[in-house]
Amino acid sequence: MSAFSPASEVLLRHSDDFLESRVLFAGDMQDDLPARLETAASRAHTQQFHHWQVLSKPMGERAQYGLTADAELVGDSDTLIYYWPKNKPEAQFQLMNLLSLLPVGSDVFVVGENRSGVRSAEQMLEEYCPLTKIDSARRCGLYHGRLEAKPTFDKDAWWNEYQLDELTIKTLPGVFSRDGLDVGSDLLLATLSPHTKGKVLDVGCGAGVLAAVLASHSPKVRLTLCDVSAPAVEASRATLAANGFEGEAFASNVYSEVKGRFDMIISNPPFHDGLQTSFEAAQTLIRGAVKHLNNGGELRIVANAFLPYPNLLDEMFGNHEVLAQTGRFKVYRAVMGRNAKR
């Protein structure tokens, strides 16, 4: 990656401040600045698998992907640069984890776009690390403080759950559908027939809602779930376990870690990466599906009605149909056949 995000461009205005610092980068890193900024030492932690893929190439083991950072990764870091995400509970979870591992006296920088709500970092951290705004540019704010008191952090205390009919859905901060079933997923689920059989892949699984509901009325399905988000992968595993369902859940950038073919691929694909509108994941989902479906297998997705997916479905599969729709959403089905691009 070569283009820097607005948040990274603001940080570059202060690049001289980091020359002697041992920096831990974390949060919603949208580019490879953590690998390129000149520092005494740089490490990075991310909950996003696709961000880790970018950073691990130049940084190797100094870049870590997972639900939480650990003391080994933090090492002797004396500075935190945190990219604020759009989700406040996600930011709180990550910051409490990171600040619990850094030594008192560490410099803490928080940077993010104003529309993401980065201003709330001041109130969130005032008990541990009072922040002062030191720059404003590119519609972003940059805040600095020093760690005065370390928070206690217990990741088990951050779990939440809700009931969906007879199912228990386990969730974590930052997971899509954290507080309840979203309208799009509900519409997709309404199109799934009971007694579905075969191998089913849920791409962008979130809290595992789609897979859990499918398994509840189709016990013969064999489930595979994947997501770029570490909290989503952990939540999906917990949801399956809480309801006694078998299935595999793992981190993958769409199909990057997926092996084999399936009888059905289901998804409520995102069209944002952080705050930015991005159709890349959904386009990759559609284009790559033909390499991961058996003959007669189907791709079934729900998407905002305005998104330009019908033409791409026809291009890749030679067919598509709309199974259900509302004013906002459509559920598309495309079947793997002779006309599909292989």
Whose CA is closest to 226, among 261, 253, 246?
253
3-state class of 46 per DSSP? Answer: strand
Strand partners, 322: 332
Whether 318 shows a pLDDT value over 80: the answer reads yes
Specify the DSSP element, H or E, that contains 26.
Answer: strand 22-27
Please tell me the predicted confidence (pLDDT) of residue 256: 96
Neighbours of 143 (CB within 10 A): 23
Task: Give the tens place of pLDDT for each residue, 107-140.
Answer: 999 999 999 999 999 999 999 999 999 999 999 9
Q: Locate 300 and state its tokens.
A: 């079934």
> Which has the minimum average pLDDT: 132-141, 226-235, 289-298, 332-341?
332-341
- How confident is residue 271, by pLDDT bands cut at 50, 70 and 90? low
3-state class of 329 per DSSP? Answer: strand
Whether 279 shows a pLDDT value over 90: the answer reads no
Of residues 179 and 335, more confidence is placed in 335
Task: Give the tens place of pLDDT for each residue, 5-59.
Answer: 999 999 999 999 999 999 999 999 999 999 999 999 999 999 999 999 999 999 9
Q: What is the pTM of this model?
A: 0.94
Residue written as token pair 């520092």: 39
Task: Give the tens place of pLDDT for each residue, 166-211.
Answer: 999 999 999 987 777 889 999 999 999 888 899 999 999 999 999 9
CATH architecture label of 6-155:
3-Layer(aba) Sandwich (3.40)
Q: What percent of the chain has pLDDT over 90?
A: 86
Quickly list DSSP for 102-164: SPTT-EEEEEEEGGGTGGGHHHHHTTTS--EEEEEETTEEEEEEE--SPPP--GGGG-EEEEE
Task: Give the tens place of pLDDT for each residue, 240-256.
Answer: 999 999 999 999 999 99
What's the longest Cα–Cα distance across the chain? 65
- How confident is residue 70, by pLDDT bands cut at 50, 70 and 90? very high
Tell me whether strands 132-137 and 321-325 are parallel, antiparallel or unpaired.
Answer: unpaired
Please tell me the predicted confidence (pLDDT) of residue 275: 43
* Whole-Å CA distances, 55 to 28, 205, 318: 12, 23, 37
* Whole-Å CA distances, 217 to 201, 209, 246: 16, 13, 14
Q: Looking at the domain 159-336, which fold is it?
A: Rossmann fold (3.40.50)
Burial class (CB in 10 A: 0-12, 13-18, 19+), 141: buried
* Whole-Å CA distances, 69 to 26, 95, 230: 9, 10, 12
Task: Give the tens place of pLDDT for each residue, 88-103.
Answer: 999 999 999 999 999 9
- How confident is residue 278, by pLDDT bands cut at 50, 70 and 90? low
- How confident is residue 340, by pLDDT bands cut at 50, 70 and 90? confident
Q: Locate 160 and state its tokens.
A: 């939440």
Q: How far apart are CA 338 and CA 19, in angstroms?
A: 58
In the chain, where the domains are located? 6-155, 159-336
Whether 272 shows a pLDDT value over 60: the answer reads no
Please tell me the predicted confidence (pLDDT) of residue 288: 95
Please tell me the predicted confidence (pLDDT) of residue 274: 45
Q: Where are the alpha helices (DSSP H) in the chain?
A: 6-12, 33-36, 49-59, 71-74, 88-99, 121-125, 183-189, 209-217, 230-242, 280-289, 310-317
Q: What is the mean pLDDT of the chain?
A: 93
Whether 330 shows a pLDDT value over 70: the answer reads yes
Answer yes or no: same fold for 6-155 and 159-336: yes
Please tell me the predicted confidence (pLDDT) of residue 176: 83
Asked if 157 and 150 count as a contact pair (C-beta separation under 8 A), the reply is no
